[in-house]
Structure 1
Amino acid sequence: MKYIVILGDGMADEPLEALDNQTPLQAAHKPYMDSLAKGGIIGLVHTIPEGLSPGSDTANLSVMGYDPHQYYSGRSPLEVLSMGATMEEKDVSFRCNFVTLSDDDKPYKDKVILDHSADEITTEEAHELLIYLVEYLGNSQLAFHTGTSYRHAIIWHDGSTDVNLTPPHDILGKTIGNYLPKGDNADKIEQMMVLSYKLLSNHPINVKRKEQGLNPANAIWIWGEGTKPTLPSFQEKYGITGAMISAVDLLKGIAVAAKMDNIHVEGATGNIHTNFKGKAKAAVETLQTHDFVYVHIEAPDECGHRGEIANKVKSIEYIDEVAGYIKETLDEKGEDYRIMVLPDHPTPIALRTHTSNPVPYLIYDSTQVQNNHHTYDEVSCEATHRRWQVGHTLMAYFLNKTAIEEEASC
């Protein structure tokens, strides 16, 4: 038996007037996902444990079967693993976003965060900007590491997690004064952010970006603090070999921590312009040597943060093609397999950030095809009254390790 998870990051949403009061999942043309739903089971799963923030970090840990209450030590430490950096026990890492702040004469605290990704700046541009900043911000306590696109990291030797920091995608369009750092080293963190704005506003890269009609990466925003993570390996936990296909450092880092293989796909970007077909082909190829593959697709989440309704619908349709390619190819090969499709969390267009609401899932088993009338969307999944209350236990059921009656409740 082969196992495939297709994770559409932030795919769940709320009804939108622009879509005739449908969600993007309902509005999308997704024949393959709907077919899988008809032949499988669907329901809702709570991926965000009570008391934790609805981030892709906690949510994906939950989907992968790791209890976030037990294993979550912060977002940035997982990303640092993907960047090849090492952390000591007393180190604290932070996420370092390139963002776009309003370009005006107002004091720093009165500026507005316009874009959490600086129009998804390229990794090459961001790397050059980061090298430039290190000349002014770096010291013996701080180590800067380049990630992907706008997502980067800082390791603070002998740092502190007793600090209150806000994710930039949670405050899009808001004045930043109420969301500046608080707690240990808050003044130093804020000083770095303020200085970055002064340094980057007229950097040649940003001058060129503005000429091209793109948002400049005119500041860094520091958040996502955490300490060195420790996960049991996926193979030890479930007795099967696993691999990760993702364009973002967070998921790659989770894979490193879980001792899974990371599969590189040329052209994978973490946005709607990613290589969807390449990911689908890589998943099938990976299953020749692995029992399990986790295909993470970031595009719907980015579209949700950016408020792009049409692109979010289109990204779901692209994900549907990924599901279709994997299913049809495995059917042709005569493989027995299970596919699970789900988001990690909702990223509603109207809010442009994450929520903790349960997300729709479908599980299709090629050896036990059902004959239902389901479609795959939030409304249909809720109508089944099948609700998985403890999200991190769903993976064990998917991998045939538990009976569904043991974990699901209405």
Structure 2
Amino acid sequence: MKYLVMLCDGMADEPLEELDGKTPLEAAATPNMDRLAKVSEIGMVRTVPEGMAPGSDTANLSVIGYDPKRYYTGRSPLEALSIGVDMAPDDVSFRCNVVTLSEEEEKYEDRKILDHSSDEISTEEAAVLLEALKEGLKRDGYEFYVGTSYRHLLIWKHGSVVELTPPHDILTKRIGEFLPKDPLLREMMEKSYEILNHHPVNEARRKNGLKPANSAWFWGAGTRPALKAFEELHGKTGAMISAVDLLKGIAVGAGMQNLMVEGANGGLHTNYTGKAEAAVKALTEDGFDFVYIHVEAPDEMGHQGKVKDKIRSIEWIDEKIIGPVTEKLSKQGQDFRMLVLPDHPTPICVRTHTADPVPYLLYDSTKNAQGAASYDEKHGMKSKIREEEGHRLIGHLFEGE
């Protein structure tokens, strides 16, 4: 028996008037998910423990089987693992987004975050901007590292964990009340705007109709994590397929193998087909017991408030990953169990994460369950199956041996 998780980041949503009261998942054409739903277990799971912030960090830790209340030490330290930063026990890491701030206000604190991803800036462009930040924000004990797209890293040697606000939580809001209380962190953010706003990379982006990445934004502070090895925890060898440093960092911390897919970028136009092919190969040729396929696109489209593109991302997951993976494994005679779910909702109406439970689909190629007419939030809520502790759900996936 082989095992998969198809993690559709931020896919769950709320009913929208413009979709005649449907969610994007309900509105999307998902023939493969709906075919599986009829013979699968459909339920709801709470991936974010009560009292914890609803982030992809806590939620994905839950889905992979790690209780966030025990293992979570912050988001950016997980990303640091992916980048290869060797943190000392008393180092503190911060996510450093390059964001788009409004420009018409005179004072930095009066500006607004227009886009937490700067139009999903390319890693190549962002790397040039990070070099400018490294030079212009030189401080003893502070080091910048390039990540992926808009997601980068700041390490504060012998630092302190401080409370900071994720930029996607305050889109279009005045930033003043959300700036760091730490005077040096705030000074660095203000200075970053002076360095980046008229940088040649951003001037070129403006000419091309793209938003400038004109400020750094620090958040997600934390210390070095210590995850128990996935194989020791679950007795399975595991591989991760993701384009984002957070998930790759979780895999590094858990001793899972990161499988790199060319063209996978964390955006809407990622290499869905490549991810499907990598998953099948990992399970049928490379000897892995378990593969975690992560697609960021629904979450990004939720943050950006793009209803049609969120629907499109869901449809592409269904068409280009779920359909081909299930078909190829079945044709090869491979028994498998697959869990399909989002990590958390990213509702279009709020453009950020919520902590509400999410629907899951659990398919077993060797036996049929009672199932439902389709896989979506509505049918998940109708189910009597509830899992209040999300980190236990993966054990349910492995029960079918």
TM-score above 0.5: yes
User: For residues 85 and 48 of structure 1, what CA distance do their matches in structure 2 show?
Assistant: 27
In structure 1, what residue type is equivalent to 2:187? Q
Q: Who is 2:290 aligned against?
A: 292
Partner deviation per Cα, 1:158-182 (whole Å, 9 max, x = no partner): 0001x22100000001000111112
Q: Which residue of 2 aligns with 1:48?
A: 48
| Structure 2 counterparts to residues 10-409 of structure 1, below 5 A | 10-161=10-161, 163-182=162-181, 186-287=182-283, 288=285, 289-321=287-319, 322-400=321-399
Tell me the equivalent position of 1:405.
none
Q: CA RMSD in A?
A: 1.0
In 1, Cα distance between equivalents of 2:120 and 2:317: 20
Q: Is the CA contact 1:12–1:346 (under 8 Å) kept in the aligned structure 2?
A: yes
Secondary structure in 1 aligned to 2:399?
Answer: coil
Shift of 1:401: 7.8
Identity of aligned residues (%): 58
Residue type of the alignment partner of 1:296: H
For 2:29 and 2:67, how far apart are their aligned partners in 1? Answer: 34
Shift, 1:139, TM fit = 2.7
> Unpaired segments of 5 or more residues in structure 2?
none
> By how many angstroms is 1:373 displaced?
3.7
Distance 1:175 1:105, change over 3 A: closer
Whole-Å separation in 1 of the counterparts to 2:371 and 2:111: 52
When residues 401 and 236 of structure 1 are mapped into structure 2, their CA distance, relative to the original with a 3 A threshold, is: farther
* Shift of residue 370, structure 1, vs aligned partner: 2.8
Tell me the distance in 1 between the aligned counterparts of 2:138 and 2:258. Answer: 30
SS in 2 for 1:400: helix
Gaps of 5+ in 1: 403-410
Read off the aligned partner of 2:328 and give its amino acid letter.
T
> TM-score, structure 1 length as denominator?
0.96
Structure 1 counterpart of 2:214, one-letter code: N
Distance 1:113 1:124, change over 3 A: same
Moved more, 292-301 or 136-145: 136-145
Offset at 1:105? 3.8
Task: Quote the offset at 1:106 in angstroms.
Answer: 2.1
Distance 1:60 1:349 in 2: 20
> 1:16 deviation in Å?
0.5
Asked whether the equivalents of residues 42 and 371 of structure 2 are also in contact (C-alpha less than 8 Å), the reply is no
Deviation at 1:296, TM superposition (A): 0.2
C-alpha contact (below 8 Å) 1:138/1:144 kept by paired residues:
no
| 2:372 and 2:379 in contact (8 A); partners too | no
How many residue pairs match? The answer is 398
Contact 2:304 2:351 in 1 (8 A): yes
